[in-house]
Amino acid sequence: MALLTVQGLVQHFPVAGSRKVVAAVNSVSFDLEPGETLALVGESGSGKTTIGRCVLGLIRPTGGLIRYRDVEMGGRRTVRSPELRGKLQLVFQEPAESLDPRQRLYEQIDEPLRALGVNRADREKRVRAAAARVGLREAMLGLYPAEISMGLQQRVGIARAMISEPEIVVLDEPTSALDPTARAEIIDLLIRIQRDLGTAYLFISHDLSAVRQISHRVAVLYLGMIVEQGPAAKLFARPSHPYSVGLLSAVLLPNPTIRRESRISLAGEIPSPIDLPKACYLASRCPMVEERCRTRMPEVETVEPGHLVRCYRHEEVVRDGDAVDYFARFQAEAERILGAGMPPQVSTGQPMNESERGNVDHG
Amino acid sequence: MQLLAYLGRRLLFVAPQLVGILLVSFFLLKLIPGDPAVMMLGPFATDDGLARLRAELGLDRSLLEQFLIYLGNVLQGDLGTSWQTTLPVTTDLAQRFPATLELVTLALLLALAIGVPLGVAGARYKKGLLRTTADYYGLFAGALPDFWFGLVLIFLFYTTWALVPAPLGRLDFVILPPPEITGSLLIDSTLAGNWQALRNAAGHLVLPVLTLGLINAGPILKMTQSTMERMLESDFSRYAEMCGLPERVVARKALRNALPSVVTIVSVLYGFLIGGAVLVEIVFSWGGAGQYAVGGVLNADLNPVMGFVLYSAILSLVIYLIVDLIYFAIDPRTR
């Protein structure tokens, strides 16, 4: 049985002063296995963060089922409940705001353990171990959040999340507020921690290169619906949904001479989640739209085991779309640029040596 | 050590700040039409007499000269004489400033005691009686003029129920005031063991303190509530909640982070009320500093006004210094 099962999750929020609802999440299903990273990607407003909150039980879902091991989350069972405390954790997007400005780093990292009622001696040992794990020096533990850099603040956030030995950590855009160096270090750190502890990550992000680097599987969200999910390497190399193609081609490349050959590009704006069409949500923007797309929502189809897509014309998308893993090219290009005249210890692509994480073709 | 260096740096700027404040207020006051000589000698004065008086007061010199003479006198501790009271301004203010300070300090303590707990409750509970009370209190306290509210209180507590002494000053005429040490009647009469004066002074303080305190609890409440709400919604509070820490602990963390803005609003109110309590002072015939200064402005009596400005400026600078020291103590980010 999967560590976390989400089935048909629906989350609607009422719009103040009207009968309408914001359909933030629409029938989302996915599994998370122990020690695995599943990335939820999508634009702002696609429901990524809401799904994360639902998984932690912080919001009661409108419909659907969320099961952590054999516990059904939501309602009375949340991450706050004594039996679930510390099993699921959260790392925030804004490291500065996620830390109490008036508490020393030591106390911040200690916080989950105090809620768990761990005795003082054990807590001290574990705080020091957690700090060491994320690369915080002992002397830093007496500092306040404002006295350290954002990258270090995020390390505190990670140490704090890891200290309760969680099985699942929801990483809510943990790198998007960081500068590129800190970002790379944090991704590295997260990968190393997962290798050592076997923690499962729900990695919520629109930072596609980070997603490509860290995740085993990817689920692409559009207006609160998963339009495609599958193994990271496959999905990046051969996206089967027009929206995935559009999203992936938005990766910023370090070299403008790398051309994109995609013939599929999305027009227009993301529709309002208040009045969603009954048919395919992408119909109004999709270059490959047909009559049936406008009348009925496509069913989930299996491209190959573990690779699901919600599009009538996914075979054509694969054929016509770009069959180039931009990330692989990005990586190769970055290495070429950084490698020139630089000492060899520059650690680009360091964490990529795990075979499970998408095989990057360095060609 | 760091603190001492900081204090030294701050104090270095106090003198130029004070001179600047005096300069600006001196020239602004001179812009107000009205001739002190005419005011003092009345409508039947001869031109000769007026000219002599002007020369005596130094009014025939240039504005800059007048200012420099004034500044020189101030440096020697001479703030001039008020022609209305015929007393040196320092004597007048020594009596009136403590009266205002005592009133304003007590009023703000009351405002804090009401505003902070109600603001915290309003932020913690999204609905319910406490939240409704906080909302309406903020609305009414913001909408009511303080002098009007003072009159209503006088009507109820003095005229109708006769629970408090007449709103005529700080002490009944028949009561012998305690020897002046701090200027605060409560403290002085306690020090002198004069319980009758203490009881009487406290009775006189009740209504003006209630007036100013209840009204000024409004802004304190609003500031506490909005900052507290922001802190409770911030990620660090949500995280503490998610960890399963009790709501009480989460609220305490949030309050500690909300305190700096409460300190700020109190310091602003304090500086403001030294002069801003004047309408309430008039309603209660308090004889405070604000009343004294307004009398000066109305009668072209420059020295009391300048003296008041100087005292208020010094007091404000001291308050802001204290506030900065409090920030230093409660907010690690300022260190």
Instruction: Nearest by CB to A146, from B239, B245, B333: name it.
Output: B333
Banded pLDDT at A360 (limits 50, 70, 90) = very low
Q: Does the pLDDT of residue A323 top 70, yes or no?
A: no
Between chains, do B244 and A80 touch, taking CB under 8 Å as contact? yes
Residue A60 has pLDDT above 90, yes or no: no
B109 and B170: one domain? yes
d(CA A298, CA B147): 71
Tokens of B325: 């020291």
Distance from CA of B234 to the nearest CA of A (A): 7
Give how far A12 is from chain B: nearest CA, Å. 21
Inter-chain residue contact B235 with A115, CB threshold 8 Å: no
Give yes or no for residue B243 having a pLDDT over 80. yes
What local confidence, expressed as pLDDT, does residue A91 receive? 96
Query: What gap in Å lies between CA B221 and CA B119, rounded to an integer?
Result: 5
Q: Are A91 and A111 in contact (CB under 8 A)?
A: no
pLDDT-based confidence at residue A260 (cuts at 50, 70, 90): low
pLDDT of A357 reads 57
pLDDT score of A349: 41
Domain count of the fold of chain B: 2
pLDDT at A315: 85
Question: Is A80 near chain B, with CB under 8 Å?
Answer: yes
Yes or no: say if A286 and A298 are a contact pair by the CB < 8 Å rule.
no
Is A90 part of the contact surface with chain B (CB cutoff 8 Å)? Answer: yes
* Cβ–Cβ gap B242/A97 under 8 Å: no
Tell me the chain A residues in contact with residue B253 when contact means C-beta distances shorter than 8 Å.
100, 102-103
* B249/B176 same-domain check: yes
Residues of chain B positioned with their CB less than 8 A from the CB of A153: none
What distance in Å separates the CA atoms of residue A145 and residue A97, rounded to the nearest whole number?
A: 10
The nearest CA of chain B is from the CA of A176 a distance in Å of: 16
Q: pLDDT tens for residues B183-209?
A: 899 999 999 999 999 999 999 999 999
Residue A204: partners with Cβ closer than 8 Å, 6 or more residues away: A39, A40, A48, A49, A51, A52, A170, A171, A172, A173
- The CATH number assigned to the domain holding B240 equals 1.10.3720.10
| B90 domain residue, yes or no | no
- For residue A285, how far is the Cα from the chain centroid? 25
Partners of residue A105 in chain B, C-beta under 8 Å:
none
Q: Are residues B35 and B104 in the same domain?
A: no
Per-residue confidence (pLDDT) for residue A121, from 0 to 100: 94
| Distance to chain A for B332, nearest Cα, Å | 6
Of the two residues B135 and A58, the one the predictor is more confident about is: B135
User: Taking all residues of chain A, what is their mean pLDDT, rounded to a whole number?
Assistant: 85
Alpha helices in chain A (DSSP H): 48-55, 95-98, 105-116, 120-133, 150-162, 180-197, 208-214, 232-237, 242-248, 291-295, 314-320, 326-339
Percent of chain B at pLDDT > 90 equals 67
Residue B209 counted as domain residue: yes
Taking the C-alpha atoms of residue B269 and residue B274, their distance in angstroms, rounded to an integer, is 9
Tell me the shortest Cα–Cα distance from B124 to chain A, in angstroms: 18
pLDDT of A185 reads: 93
Q: Are residues B68 and B128 in the same domain?
A: no
Same domain, B111 and B47: no
State whether B147 and B8 are in the same domain: no
> Model confidence over A158-214: pLDDT tens digits?
999 999 999 999 999 999 889 989 999 999 999 999 999 999 999 999 888 889 889
Residues B140 and B286 in one domain: yes
Tell me the pTM. Answer: 0.82
Do B309 and B242 belong to one domain? yes
Average confidence (pLDDT) over A286-298: 88
Task: Name the maximum alpha-carbon separation found in chain B.
Answer: 86
Mutate one of A58, A109, A111 to test the B interface: name it (highest B CB count within 10 A). Answer: A111
* Residue A279 predicted with pLDDT over 80: yes
- Give residues with Cβ within 8 angstroms of A226, minimum separation 6: A28, A29, A30, A219, A220, A308, A310
Query: Is B310 within a domain?
Result: yes
Domain end among B44, B75, B106: B75
Are B239 and A79 an interchain contact pair (Cβ–Cβ within 8 Å)? no
Q: Which residue has the higher pLDDT, B55 or A113?
A: A113
As to burial, measured by CB atoms within 10 angstroms (0-12 exposed, 13-18 middle, 19+ buried), residue A244 is buried
Asked if the Cβ–Cβ distance from B239 to A98 is below 8 Å, we say: yes
Which residues of chain A lie closer than 8 angstroms to B331, CB-CB?
101-102
Q: Give the helix ranges, DSSP H, for B13-59.
A: 14-31, 36-41, 47-57
Nearest by Cα to B207 from B145, B127, B267, B280: B280
Q: What is the ipTM of this complex?
A: 0.83
Least confident window among B2-11, B56-65, B307-316:
B2-11
Residues of A in contact with B243 (CB under 8 A): 80, 85-86, 111-112, 114-115
Confidence of residue B11 (pLDDT cuts 50, 70, 90): confident
In this structure, is residue B18 part of a structural domain?
yes
Do B187 and B249 lie in one domain? The reply is yes
Q: Flag whether B88 is in a domain.
A: no
Same domain, B292 and B183: yes
Nearest neighbour of A115 by CB, restricted to B234, B238, B244: B244
Question: Can you give the pLDDT at residue A236?
Answer: 86
The secondary element (H helix, E strand) that includes residue A200 is: strand A200-205
Any idea which of A267-271, B257-261, B320-324 has the lowest mean pLDDT?
A: A267-271
Sole residue written with tokens 């969200």: A221
Candidates A59, A100, A158: best to mutate against B (most CBs of B within 10 A) is: A100
What is the residue-averaged pLDDT of chain B? Answer: 91
In 3D, which of A99, A59, A103 has the Cα closest to residue A78? Answer: A59
How far apart, in whole angstroms, are the C-alpha atoms of residue B118 and residue B138? Answer: 10
Chain A residue with Cα closest to B253 = A100
pLDDT at residue A14 is higher than 50 = yes
Contact state of A90 with B242 under an 8 Å Cβ cutoff: yes
**Rounded to whole angstroms, how far apart are CA atoms A173 and A88?**
16
> Quick one: B212 and B325 in the same domain?
yes
Distance from A194 to chain B by nearest Cα, in Å? Answer: 21
**Model confidence band, residue A338 (pLDDT cutoffs 50, 70, 90):** low
CB contact under 8 A, B253 and A98: no
Cβ–Cβ gap A98/B243 under 8 Å: no
pLDDT band with cut points at 50, 70 and 90 for residue B180: confident
Task: Quickly tell me which residue has 């659907």 as its tokens.
Answer: A64
User: And the tokens for A187?
Assistant: 């991704």
Cα distance from B95 to chain A (closest Cα, Å)? Answer: 43
Domain membership of residue B221 (yes or no) is yes
Q: Do B239 and A90 touch (CB under 8 A)?
A: yes
B26 against A344, higher pLDDT: B26
A144 touches chain B (CB under 8 A): yes
Q: What is the pLDDT at residue A362?
A: 43
Digit-coded pLDDT (tens) for A108-137: 999 999 999 999 999 999 999 999 999 999
Q: CA B223: distance to chain centroid?
A: 19
Q: Residue A325: what pLDDT? A: 62
Residue of A80, A90, A102 with shortest CB distance to B257: A102
Residue B13 in domain: yes
User: What pLDDT does residue A264 have?
Assistant: 65
For position A346, what pLDDT does the model report?
38
Which of A93, A102, A160, A171 is the mutation pick for testing B, counting most B CBs within 10 A?
A102
The mean-pLDDT minimum among A137-141, A338-342, B8-12 falls in A338-342
Residue B86 in domain: no
> Shortest CB distance from A101 goes to which of B239, B241, B333?
B333
Q: Measure A359 CA to nearest chain B CA, in Å.
A: 36
B187 with B310, same domain: the answer is yes
Q: Does A86 touch chain B (CB under 8 A)?
A: yes
Residue-number span of the structural domain to which B208 is assigned: 98-334
- What does the alpha-carbon distance between residue B31 and residue A318 come to, in Å, rounded to a whole number? 82
Average pLDDT over residues A224-250: 88
What pLDDT, on a 0 to 100 scale, did the predictor assign at position A359? 46
- Which tens digits make up the pLDDT trace of A17-38? 888 888 899 999 999 999 999 9
**DSSP assignment letter at A176:** T
List of chain B residues whose C-beta atoms are within 8 Å of the C-beta of residue A94:
235
**CB within 8 A of A239, min separation 6: which ones?**
A220, A228, A245, A248, A317, A318, A321
- Best B126, B231, B243 member to test A by mutation, with max A CBs in 10 Å, is B243
**Closest-CA residue of chain A to B333:** A146
Distances (CA, A) of B136 to A325, B139, B219: 61, 5, 13
Q: Is the dihedral of CA B181, B182, B186, B191 positive or negative?
A: negative
Strands A200-205 and A37-41: parallel
